[in-house]
Amino acid sequence: MLQRNRRERVRTILIVEDDEKLAIALAVRLKASGYRVFAAYDALTGVCQAVKHEPDLILLDIAMPLGGGWSVAERIKSMADTAAIPIIFITALKEPGLREKALEKYGAVGFLEKPFEASDLLSMIHEALDDSTEVSSQVFMESTDR
């Protein structure tokens, strides 16, 4: 098991994904890679969690209940406390132009189509956060009241 320097800060990732099984699977993988993880299962809760936790990065699904990923990105980018949080969009949608829209209009640092390889996601996260070392792991899952 990797040890971390006590001065290093645990990086936090917010997963905003309506497929709870996928969100949990991502959280497990991210925990194993040393990240602290929060999850939201709809757009509205995603915005609230971003404001509450100010994560280092957001994994954001595009098609979700209560607003969708585009509206989440707009809200996050419009608030001073959350505007600088990098976003990686993940989606099962296969529409042309989504990648360009995510990167150009919403300033995303990454875009992945489902299904994707966990190694691709982790590489994208490491690059976005400029992680050169792994940090200790701790997972916090918060569910949405339905």
Show pLDDT as tens, one digit a residue, over the chain (146 residues).
333 444 468 999 999 999 999 999 999 999 999 999 999 999 999 999 999 999 999 999 999 988 899 999 999 999 999 999 999 999 999 999 999 999 999 999 999 999 999 999 999 999 999 864 343 333 333 333 33
**Sign of the dihedral through C-alpha 95, 121, 45, 54:** negative
Give ∠ CA 111-117-120 in degrees, rounded to 5.
55
d(CA 40, CA 19): 10
Q: Is 89 left (phi over 0), alpha (psi -120 to 50) or beta?
A: beta
Q: Of 58, 64, 94, 97, which Cα lies nearest the Cα of 76?
A: 58
d(CA 70, CA 31): 26
Q: In the 8-state DSSP scheme, what is residue 107? A: -
Strand order in the sheet with 110-113: 36-40, 12-16, 57-61, 87-91, 110-113
pLDDT at 8: 67
Q: CA–CA distance from 91 to each of 33, 59, 125 (Å)?
A: 22, 10, 16
In this prediction the pTM is 0.84
Query: 12-129 sits in which CATH class?
Result: alpha beta
pLDDT at 21: 96
Report residue 25 as tokens. 């699977």
